[in-house]
Amino acid sequence: MLNDKTVLITGGTGSFGNQVLERILELYTPRKVIIYSRDELKQHEMRTRLHSPIVDFWIGDVRDRQSVLSVMKNVDYVFHAAALKQVPSCEFFPMEAVMTNVVGTHNVLDAAEEQGVRKVVVLSTDKAVYPINAMGLTKALVEKLMLAKARTSISSTVFCGVRYGNVMYSRGSVLPLFVNQIRNHQPVTLTSADMTRFLLPLPTAIDLVFFALENGKNGDILVRKSPAATMGVLAAALIEVLKSKSGTKIIGISEGEKLHETLVTKEDLLRSESFPEYFRIKNLENLDYEKYFTEGKINNLPKEDYTSQNARRLDIGEVKDLLLGLREIQEQL
């Protein structure tokens, strides 16, 4: 799909942007890939590392509607990854999260529609489901903005999204913190050893995005089925992999943090199509108020959501295998 096409990656200097760019250059021959972000240092580092004639770098902010409209000209496909993602940052500065995540997404969707982009894939997170923190609340609105645009747009642009759990060793995730603590001979800090999280290596998350690119229909949200582990098991596995004598220290659950995460609600499951490794959550395709208000029916509602508590649980050996497959852990070793 991407051969001889122009691809735009918003937030392209982050963990996702680097990995998806690597995958695109490995598998396709695009006409151009545009990395759009406001981080000039990371753009400079990417530019000097790649030396690629087909990768363009554009300084800009998704909050700036005119900038987004300009960069979107002649673009065929968009991966929208730009966001504020750290829970504490969004808790302390929720309006900043609203401006980047909500207003920024609105600008991206509008510009894609106006410029005739073929497809937009919007990235979301498990924290958007039953959100209890500012980051999750804004990401829930990101999904609603995408769905609304899919229903109301009169253009041929396809708007779809992906939702996945914690990406291992992504920027702002817990693994870099744990590794740093171990390297400094400090105990690994756990909010709760029984807390569970989905574990998804970044390349697997990229697989989900390309699955959405190829299979996502207007208004779809694609979800990767993922295994989970307790934070106690994750910490123990990492300590063993790095051959450390560091112990663990329980510091208590932080504000805005859940004990377990939900990827798909019971209501989502009711209207989902299940693939071996994915869920496709189907949504209303148009502004049909009758279906929304008077004709909706719930039959055979599933008994439980799809959560990190009831997903397949990994043991220490399985988590060690996952960790050893990460490039960053291999570099540590």
CA-CA distances (angstroms) from residue 83 to 75, 156, 222? 20, 26, 19
Q: How far, in Å, are 66, 98, 167, 247 from residue 238 at the CA level?
A: 45, 35, 16, 11
- Please indicate, yes or no, if residue 85 is contained in any of the structural domains: yes
- pLDDT greater than 70 at residue 297: no
Say what the pLDDT of residue 296 is: 66
Task: Report percent pLDDT > 90 for the chain.
Answer: 79
Of the candidates 17, 270, 39, the one whose C-alpha atom is nearest the C-alpha of residue 123 is 17
Helices 231-241 and 174-183: crossing angle, nearest 10°?
40
What pLDDT sits at residue 23?
94
Question: Does 17 fall in a domain?
Answer: yes
The total number of structural domains in the chain stands at 1
The pLDDT of residue 287 is 73
Residue 78 lies in a domain: yes
Tens of pLDDT, residues 134-173: 999 999 999 999 999 999 999 999 999 999 888 888 877 8
Residue 194 lies in a domain: no
Q: Which residues pair with 221 in a beta bridge?
A: 161, 281
Residue 291: predicted pLDDT: 72
**pLDDT of the residue at 256:** 79
- Residue 131 structural domain: 6-164+200-225+263-304
Cβ neighbours of 252 (radius 10 Å): 9
Residue 134 lies in a domain: yes
Element (H, E) at 40: helix 40-50
Catalytic residues: 127
Residue 313: pLDDT band (50, 70, 90) is very high
**β-strands 6-10, 32-37 pairing:** parallel
Q: Is residue 327 in some structural domain?
A: no
**Percent of the chain's residues with pLDDT above 70:** 98
pTM: 0.92
The string of pLDDT tens digits covering residues 91-127 is: 999 999 999 999 999 999 999 999 999 999 999 999 9
Residue 106: the pLDDT is: 98
Give the CATH number for residue 84.
3.40.50.720
Residue 318 placed within a domain: no
Q: Is residue 179 part of a domain?
A: no
